[in-house]
Every structure is written in structure tokens, then in C-alpha cells.
Amino acid sequence: MSLLRFSTAGSVDDGKSTLIGRLLYDSKGVYEDQLASVAKASAGGSGGTIDLALLTDGLRAEREQGITIDVAYRYFSTPKRKFIIADTPGHEQYTRNMATGASTADLAIILIDARNGVLPQSRRHAFIANLLGIRHFVVAINKMDLAGFDQNVYNAILNEFTGFLDKIGAPKALFIPISARDGDNVVTRSERTPWYSGPALLEHLEDVPVIEELERLPARFPVQYVLRPNLDFRGYAGQVASGIFRVGDAVLALPSRRQTTITRIVTYDGDLEATAAPQSVTICLANEIDISRGDVIVPASALPHVSRRFRANVVWMNAKPLELGRGYVIKHTSHQVRGVVRAINYRMDVNTLARVGASKLELNEIGEISVETHHPVYFDAYAQNRVTGAFILIDPLSNETLGAAMIIDIEGKEETRGQVSAADRAARFGHKSAIVAVEDTESALLLERELFDRGANVAVAASPEPGTAQLAAAAGMILIVVGSVPENALDLRRTSTHEAVLKLGRSGILAGHEEQLIEGEGI
Amino acid sequence: MDHLDLLEAESIQIIREVAAEFQNPVMLYSIGKDSSVMVRLAQKAFFPGKIPFPLLHIDTTYKFREMITFRDEFAASIGAKLIVHTNQAAIDDGANPLRIGTQKCCGLLKTRALLDGLAAGGYDAAFGGARRDEEKSRAKERVYSFRDEFGQWDPKNQRPELWNVYNARVDKGQHIRVFPLSNWTELDVWQYIGRENIPIVPLYYAKPRPMVVRGASLIPIEQEFMLQPGEKAEMVMCRMRSLGCSPCTGAIRSEADTIDKIIDEMKLVRRSERENRVIDHDQEGSMEIKKREGYF
């Protein structure tokens, strides 16, 4: 049995609760005593009929006010699949809840009332679902019974909404004419829509492929936890974010950039030959290299972006607005970094799709921002990878989650197409340029090998000529010289290779963290 | 990967995240089937290492005797550190559900004891085995559920929770309740117990047990005070669907004496799991009210 997560959004009148109630009830996702307690709570109201909205509204305030405030998660299953519904309110003031529900969904059901046609709310839901990277869209045109099951009504909505989905770059949608109240095309195909040849809603939900898509992406393994139960075992625990890792794969650990191979994939139930997203496993590597929580293991052949500056779409979720220059904690996969928002490139008016200038973003507003972090972040564009492209912003003072962001790309990529700067080189090699003097050739070659294996741009100059240092600096290299100590050189003559590497790391020449690069002393 | 593999992978990710980000986590262990699954997931998360945090049992002293026996054997068998906390002052004052009512009894022996137990250990994160399908206010609960200095839950002001990126930041005195089984259903739990051969308390399996039959309810006779004048126990083929304190947990008539039979029973059952838990029905919205005050 597989698993599908889908989101719905809607308000009181569009039949969302009736649809969910029907899916739950028809698949026995709701129990008799729960129905009875709902009947008890709705007694005195509409009398006789059970209000299915009460099934999904879990908080007292919601039942009292007759509105959905927060995301509720609902569960049902058929013999083919288990389903998790993220059921969210539809009004503009609950945009953040819609985004929350959409963040884990594989599929979005957008409800359109056949009598009212496409409303701003339908567009907003589609926009947010697309922004949060949902790949499968279903447009359920509801209350077809009240529209006489008229194919023209269906076609008009299909044409109008397809145009909108194309405009925002959303995936192609399946349009299903339904009556949630009567059950037409919900679980089984309806005889009242002979002009519709597609599947019923539940059939489609049972058949949509989801997991396979994750496996085709470049492999990513964010390290959550280092397991060292005894001296003989060192493993990196985490959940495969995307792609497939196999024993024997050549991989690179970031930020150390050291290349190694996978020796074991360990689980409680025995070792595996291969692991695919989204399995939680423990990976062992051939070399004892310095990897800690927040690092990521990737294939040597498909690296993610590494940058301190990137652009992202953000949904703001707090009453305190997003402000430029303010320090935020950014949590991205399994690491936290400090960062600031350098620019709000625009605010998106979701109703008109207009890009509006803005100096701050208020609660429930969506915009594109430019972020700068204190340390480099290893990411893919959210459009390619929903795990490594997502982050949340946290207020370091109140600890509240303020916003959710989806990375678009490295900031200023176009600019770097011009002259290659020292900073560009440092960002690529992970170190600044330096000259290191050692005692003899043997030490020089050992150190070179050590640094080279860590991904450094390094060379030994046995007999440096005038101008060699300048050339090495221009190339962003670490130059190892034997014997005489040039001015400004690090002198590592009486240290072991291991200590030398440590020392280089401490002085910021061979460092994973850009902060150290800035403070470190190069040539 | 089937749905159980996916749920397992998700839960392990949550458990590891907590172990990595909090100073002093603890796993609440109630001896029930959900706790049994949660502990197995923790074993898997840190294999080949041991679970890097203790288990905490809030003992009301009204648990079934079979539960306590099972608890001690189970904790020892997996090499876990088990801490038991009881509100002894309230017990000494004679707190029991018949004398002071279920709401007060839960308040003292579960909620108060839990908050005191967490404070005593200085825990900043506490895993719980609650599931969102259990009860309607739990359907709104986050995986990381923030609790203030008084252990209170504010359902209208919860932190947004997107993807599997969790906000673990708390100030001193605050803590997070973490629910790694949020997306599991009762049937998922049983299927997983069956697939993984997870040991569970024998009370879940049907056998003839002494019960007082009171209307549609089957009341287990573990505590003398549960017998009303004129009542006497009779042997009934039954099992527990959900385990709590014996005075407040009804049994269900059942022939299911193996895991497979229980799973089949689950697929047909039309009544909810917590229907036999008296404390869920002592007032409208009662779970939400208890949870706001710090109840698990």
C-alpha cells in the first residue's frame, strides 16, 4: 500500500467539508461514535442533518465560530493507498495555513463551485500550491448537480482556469466534474456526466505516481546525527532527501569537499546495497573525515549550489513584518545559520499576479527576497528539490517561526559571469590563497596530497621564481614551498601533516566556513 | 516503499532531529501499543547505538498490573534507562477517580505528575506517542508542539510547521512535546506491530477476564473500589483496545487473540479507539481542555 498526501483549501460554502466528509465516510475514515458526537454538537442547529464540517473542525473556537482556523490533518485509506489530507481554510487571512498544508502535499485539490466559476480564492489556492511545489493538480468542479451537469459550464471553467495555471507555470491539471453531496465522480464515475471520460476523483488519487519522482533527482543526504556507539563504528544518520545512494558510490561531503566512497548503508533491519529517498538510514564512509550535523553528502558528479547569497520566495507568517537588515535564524535541512534579508525584490499580489515594490512584508504576504547568510548554504532550487530548496526563518529573540521560503537561485549569478573575483575563487575552492613553507619535499608532497584530497586548489613549488607568489594569489591557490620562508608565509616546518591541516583550517586558509575565510590571513 | 516504510522513515527523521537539537530530551513511555512502536522507532533511529535519552513513565498507580510487569521487563530487555514518576502526595491524599472525579484525578495524577516529572528532569523536549487520528483536537496538533513555562498548549497560537523543517528553539523552562507518530493511524500501528514483531502488553489480546458488565460497558476489576454494591465480576472474552488507568478504561468484547486477528478486527471496526476512555467524554472538547493545561 502506498501513501499520498494531498491538500485542500476552501471556505464555508464551496463544499470542501462535504467532499472530505464523503471521502472519509465512504472509506470508513470516520467512526460511528465520532459521527454521533458531531450529531450531538450540531443538534439544535440545522436539525436532523449531520454537519460534516464539524468532523474536520477540531478546536472549540472553530466549532463555536463555524470556521476553520488551522490546518487539520485527516486520514483514510483504501486497499490501494493510505491518504493524508491537509485540510486548510481558504480565506486570504489564512494564506499561511494554506502554505503549511501545501508544503508536504503531493497533490492539491482545488475546489470550484460550478455556479460561481473561478473566484479569486481558486486562483490564490492554485498559486500557493504551485509556489510550494505541488506537482499534481486536480480541479474539482463541485455542485455540478446545481448546474444541471452542463458540459458547457465545465468547459468554460476548464478553459478559464487552464489559462490561469499556464500563466503561473503550474502543472497541467485534471478537471473533474463532481457533486460532493450526491457523490457523482467522487468515488465512482457518474452516469450523469456521460460527456466526461476521465477518472473519478478517488480513482485518480489512488493512481497518481509520487515517490518515483524523488528518486530521479540528484542524490542528497543531509546529515542529521553522527553515530559513534563504539570505537569501531562511525556512521552518519539521516534521511535521503532525493535520489539514490549505493555502496561503492563516490561521494563528496560538504563543506569539507573531501571525496570518499560509501562503504556501508546501515539499518536496524540489516545493511542495504542501496538506499533511495525518502528512507532514513545510516551511511558509513571509507575515510575518517570531519563530517558533522548540518553537512550534506552528495555524489561527486552532481553538486548542489553553495552560496551565502540567494534569492527566495517567502510566505510571511507572523504579525511582526519582515524587515530588511534584521537578523534571523535560518533553518535549512538539518542546519541552522544566521542571516539577513538584504532586499525585498517585490511583493506578489496574488489576486492580480502584479509584482509590487515593498519595503516590508506583512502577515500572509508573499514576495521575493534576497538573503545573505553568515555561513554558506548548500542548496538546490526549490523547483528542483523540495527538501534542499526550503528553509524557515525564525526570530532569534521570540523563537517564533516567522516565514517559510523557497530558494530560487544564487544571487547575482549574472554578475559572476564577468570577471572572476578572489571571492568567487574562495567560494569555489573553499579557501583563500596562501603560501605555506615546509621543511622538506616529503612533507610538501604529503601536505599537498592531504589538501588536494580535501578539494583544495594546491600545488608544490619546489623552487619558486620571482612572481610565482603573485600568480598563485591571482589563481586563488595554496602554494607549498620548500625551505626558505617568503614574507607573509605560514611556517609549518616542525609540524605533522595532520597538525598542519588543522592549523591551516584555524587560520582560515582551508576552511569550510566563509566567516573564517573573511577573517583568515592569506597572502 | 509501502506506507509503513514511509511512516517509519518520517518518524525516525523526527526522532533524530530531536536528539540532535535539544539539550535534554526524554521519551514519555505509557506502556501502550503506540509507545511500543515509538520505542522501536527510536531503537532503529540510533542503531547500532542505544537510545540516547531516557524513557519516562508517569505512573498513576492505577495502571493494570500486567502493564507494570511488562514495562519493567521491556525496559530491561532493550537496555533503556527507565524513570518512573508518581504524584505521591496526591496518592497519599487518597486521589482516585471515584472519590474526586475523573477530571480532578487526571489533573493530579497525569497532568500534574507529568509537568512535575518533566521539571524534575529539566527536560526541554518530551516525545509522546499521540496520533492525530485519535481525537479531533489532536488533529490540529503540530509534530513539535510548543509548551510555555507552565506546560500549557495554546492551540490558536501554534508555530507554523512546514515540510519536515522543525523549529526546536525554546527558552529556559519551556519545552516541546514531540509527536513522531502524528501521521500514523490505529491500523498503521497494528500493522507495524505485526510486521516488526514488537512485543506488547498481553491485555491487548483477547482472553476470558473478570469484568463487571455495566450496560454496554465492560469494567475491569483491578481495584476493589470499582465494585458497586451488589455487583460481581464475571468472566468475559474480551481485550483492551487502548490502555490507560484500569478504573477508566473499558474492555471490548473480542475474540482477537493474535495480531492478525486484531488487524482484521481493526479493518471492520466502526467505533473509535478512545470511545472506551472515560476521560475523553467527561465534557465537550475535554481533550482540548486537558491539553491546554499540559495534559499529554
Q: Are B5 and A279 inside 8 Å of each other by CB?
A: yes
Strand arrangement of the beta sheet that strand A478-482 belongs to: A458-461, A478-482, A434-438, A490-491
Give me A31's grid cell.
Answer: 467512526
Q: Which residues of B touch A399 (CB under 8 A)?
A: 167, 169-171
B270 with A32: Cβ contact below 8 A: yes
Q: Which among B199, B204, B173, B206 is positioned nearest to B273, based on CA atoms? A: B204
Residue A4 in this model has a pLDDT that exceeds 70: yes
**Per-residue pLDDT, A26:** 75
Give the whole-angstrom CA distance, residue B157 versus residue B160: 9
pTM value is 0.83
Test the A interface: residue of B8, B16, B181 with most A CBs within 10 Å: B16
Taking residue A219's Cβ as centre, other Cβ atoms within 10 Å add up to 22
Q: Which of B6, B44, B136 comes nearest A268 by C-beta?
A: B44
> Distance (Å) from the C-alpha of residue B275 to the closest C-alpha of chain A?
7
Task: Report CB contact under 8 Å: B13, A84.
Answer: no
Q: How far apart are the first and last CA of chain A?
A: 61
Kindly give the parts of chain B with pLDDT less than 70. Answer: 224-226, 274-285, 296
The pLDDT score that the predictor gives to residue A129 is 95
Distance from CA of A497 to the nearest CA of B (A): 32
The closest alpha carbon to B226, from B32, B62, B66, B61, belongs to B62
Terminal Cα distance for chain B, rounded: 32
- Which is nearest to A283 in space by CA: A266, A271, A300? A266
Q: By CA distance, what is A317's nearest residue in B?
A: B160
Let me know: does B182 contact B131? Beta carbons within 8 Å.
yes
The residue written with cell numbers 471492520 in the block is B268
Interface of B with A in 167-226 (CB under 8 A): 167, 169-171, 182-183, 185, 187-188
Quick check: B272 and A33 CB within 8 A?
Answer: yes
Helices A441-453 and A497-506, axial angle in degrees (round to 10): 60
Q: How far apart are CA B113 and CA B198, in angstroms?
A: 28
**Residue in B124, B136, B158, B179 to test binding to A, most A beta-carbons within 10 Å:** B136
What mean pLDDT comes out for the span A428-442?
83
Flag if A3 and B132 touch (Cβ within 8 Å): no
> A61 phi and psi, to 5 degrees?
-60, -35
Angle at B113 between CA B108 and CA B116, to 5 degrees: 125
Q: What is the pLDDT of residue A421?
A: 73
- Cα–Cα distance for residue pair A282/B152, rounded to 1 Å: 36
Strand partners, A261: A250
pLDDT at A333 exceeding the cut of 90: yes
B189 is written with which cell numbers?
Answer: 500501528
Q: Do A74 and B7 touch (CB under 8 A)?
A: no
Residues 6 or more apart in contact with residue A483 via CB below 8 angstroms: A437, A439
Please name the residue ranges forming H helices in A132-174: 151-168
Tell me the chain A residues in contact with residue B49 when contact means C-beta distances shorter than 8 Å: 227-229, 233
CA B107, chain centre distance (Å)? 16
Q: Which residue, among A239, A240, A236, A213, has the nearest Cα to A225 in the 3D structure?
A: A236
What burial class does residue B95 get, using C-beta atoms within 10 Å of its C-beta: 0-12 exposed, 13-18 middle, 19+ buried? buried
CA distance A313 to chain B (A): 14
Neighbouring residues of B160: CB distance < 8 A, sequence distance ≥ 6: A96, A97, A99, A100, A317, A392, A401, A404
CA distance to partner chain A, nearest, from residue B89 (Å) = 33
Residue A417: pLDDT band with limits 50, 70, 90: very low
pLDDT band at residue A512 under the 50/70/90 scheme: very low
In terms of Cα–Cα distance, which of B180, B118, B121, B171 is closest to B146? Answer: B171
**HEC string for A444-477:** HHHHHHHHHHCCCCEEEECCCCCCHHHHHHHHCC
Residue A185 has pLDDT above 70, yes or no: yes
Residues linked to residue B162 through DSSP beta bridges, in sequence order = B165
Residue of A nearest to B135 (CA): A58
Whether residue A3 and residue B167 make contact (CB cut-off 8 A), yes or no, is: no
CB-nearest partner of A401 from B48, B167, B188: B167
Average pLDDT, integer, range A272-292: 94
B110 — phi, psi (to 5°)? -110, -65
Q: Is the Cβ pair A59, B288 closer than 8 Å?
A: yes
Q: In this complex, how many residue pairs, one in chain A and one in chain B, have their CB atoms less than 8 Å apart?
A: 172
A392 with B185: Cβ contact below 8 A: no
Q: Would strands A478-482 and A221-222 be described as parallel, antiparallel, or unpaired?
A: unpaired
Nearest-CA distance B171 → chain A (Å):
8
Spatial contact of A254 and A306, defined as CB atoms under 8 Å apart: yes
d(CA A19, CA A256): 51
**From residue A138, how far is each of A80, A121, A131, A173, B186 by CA, in Å?**
19, 15, 16, 5, 29
Region of B101 please: left (phi>0), alpha (psi -120 to 50) or beta. Answer: left
Share of chain A above pLDDT 70, in %: 85
Q: Measured between alpha carbons, how far is A158 from B207 in angstroms, rounded to an integer?
A: 59
Beta bridge partners of B16: none
* Chain B residue numbers touching A220 (CB-CB < 8 A): none
Instruction: With a cut of 80, say whether residue A424 has pLDDT above it.
Output: no
Helix (H) or strand (E) holding B170: none
Give yes or no for a contact between A500 and A438, defined as CB atoms under 8 angstroms apart.
yes
Work out the angle at residue A227's Cα, subtended by the Cα atoms of residues A226 and A229, and round it to the nearest 5 degrees. 150
- pLDDT bin (cut points 50, 70, 90) of residue A46 is very low
Most A CBs within 10 A among B138, B167, B170, B270, hence the mutation to make, goes to B167
Alpha carbon distances (Å) from B230 to B84, B212, B214, B226: 37, 11, 12, 12
Q: Which residue has the higher pLDDT, B35 or A416?
A: B35
Give which of A238, A386, A264 is closest to B15, Cα–Cα: A238
Tell me, yes or no, if B49 comes closer than 8 A to chain A by beta carbon: yes
Cell numbers 503506540 label which residue? B34
Which of chain A's residues have a Cβ under 8 Å away from the Cβ of B133? 74-75
Radius of gyration from C-alpha coordinates of chain A: 28
> Can you tell me the distance from the alpha carbon of A388 to that of A403, in angstroms, rounded to the nearest whole number?
17
Residue in A closest to B269 by C-alpha = A31
Scanning every residue of chain A, which has its alpha carbon at the shortest distance from the alpha carbon of B8?
Answer: A280
User: Which whole-number Å values give the CA distances from B166 to A236, A262, B13, B20, in the listed order?
Assistant: 20, 28, 11, 12
- Strands across the sheet containing B252-253: B217-220, B207-214, B234-239, B252-253
Q: Is B19 on the interface with A (CB under 8 A)?
A: yes
> Grid cell 591551516 — which residue?
A504
Cross-chain residue pair A61–B164, CB shorter than 8 Å = no
User: Residue with C-alpha cell 509548551?
Assistant: B147
Looking at residue A45, its pLDDT comes to 40
Find the residue in A nearest to B275 (Cα). Answer: A33
More confident residue, A145 or A287: A145
Q: What is the pLDDT of residue A473?
A: 84
Do the chains contact at B16 and A280, CB–CB below 8 Å? yes
What are A334-392's pLDDT values in tens digits? 999 999 999 999 999 988 899 999 999 999 999 999 999 999 999 999 999 999 999 99
- How many of the other CB atoms lie within 10 Å of CB of A453? 17
d(CA B29, CA B38): 9
Look at A466 and B86; give whichever has higher pLDDT.
Answer: B86
Q: Do the chains contact at B284 and A96, CB–CB below 8 Å? A: no
What's the rounded mean pLDDT across residues A260-285?
97
Between β-strands A360-361 and A354-356, what pairing exists: parallel, antiparallel or unpaired?
unpaired
> Which among A38, A72, A67, A76 has a CA at the least distance from the CA of A201?
A76
Distance, in Å, from the CA atom of A29 to the CA atom of A134, rounded to the nearest integer, reads 24
Average pLDDT over residues A6-23: 81
Q: Which residues of A touch B44 (CB under 8 A)?
A: 267-269, 280
Which residue in B has a C-alpha nearest to residue A72's C-alpha?
B140
Report ipTM (2 d.p.): 0.91
Hunting for cell 468472566 — which residue is that? B235
Q: Say whether the peptide bond before residue A177 is cis (omega within 30 degrees of 0).
A: no
Task: Tell me how close the Cα of A71 comes to any Cα of chain B, in angstroms.
Answer: 6
Contacts of B166 in chain A (CB under 8 A): 331
CB contact under 8 A, A3 and B49: no
> Residues A284, A264: contact at Cβ < 8 Å?
yes
B149 touches chain A (CB under 8 A): no
pLDDT of residue A41: 58
